[in-house]
Amino acid sequence: MVPAMRLPTDNVEIDLTEARRAAEQIRGLLDKLRAEHDLRPFEYATRMRIAPGEIPHSHPVLTLNTMLRAEGPLLSTYLHEQMHWYVTWYSHAHTAGWRAIRKELEARYPAVPVAFPEGAHSAASSYLHLIVNWLEVEATSTLLGRETAVEIASRTFVYSGIYKIVLAEWDGLARLYRERGLVPIRTAIEMTEEDLALAARMDEAPIDGG
């Protein structure tokens, strides 16, 4: 006789206390950081998720996990994902500048790191992170000071090779980004609804003119 099918959780007690506690801890740390620092200039995304098992990402909803429970690294990671929104806006609002920056980065760094943990999952993503990570350090410096921002970046495991380039080539990258109007960073407070809609797009503008 074939036994009756049971749902996987029948007669099994599942305790989600730790997952909830960890997520609430991250929420509490973010509330504390928001109370201590004015984060509004860098909050292009105003909806977020805390998902314990996911890799932090920016779109479609800014998502953090529960791995980082120290204030400085958590803030830096939060700003990193916000800078993805900023770069997405820039790529669509200033497409010529976006393409010029990408072309110049490819010329300067033909052997950009493309392997975990030094680089991203592709060359295109690694070049993107030469921009995003620079902006992350710049934004973190505004809130926590340059020395602290550099220390956090230099200790970050993921994208470690990208951070190494960003910190070593800081002034040269700053000149490139300034020349193309990427910086000074245009704050979220200054942006219109149309600007923020561009920032919310899933992908940056194509770099090949397509």
Domain count along the chain: 1
Q: Which pairs from 138-143 meet CB under 8 Å and 24+ separation?
A: 138/183, 138/185, 139/42, 139/79, 139/82, 139/83, 139/185, 140/75, 140/76, 140/79, 143/37, 143/39, 143/75, 143/79
pLDDT value at position 88? 98
Is residue 49 included in any domain, yes or no? yes
Which pLDDT score, from 0 to 100, does residue 11 have? Answer: 76
**Regions of the chain where pLDDT drops below 70:** 1-10, 209-210
177-192 pLDDT per residue, tens: 999 999 999 999 999 9
- So what's the pLDDT on residue 120? 93
Please compute, for residue 186, the number of CA atoms within 13 A of its CA located in the half-sphere on the CB side.
Answer: 18
- The domain in which residue 90 lies consists of 17-199
Query: Position of tokens 């797009």?
Result: 201
pLDDT computed for residue 209 by the predictor: 67
CB atoms within 10 A of CB 16: 9
Q: Are 133 and 141 in contact (CB under 8 A)?
A: no
Q: Is there a domain that residue 89 lies in?
A: yes
Note the pLDDT tens digit of each residue in 1-46: 555 555 565 678 887 777 788 889 889 999 999 999 999 999 999 9
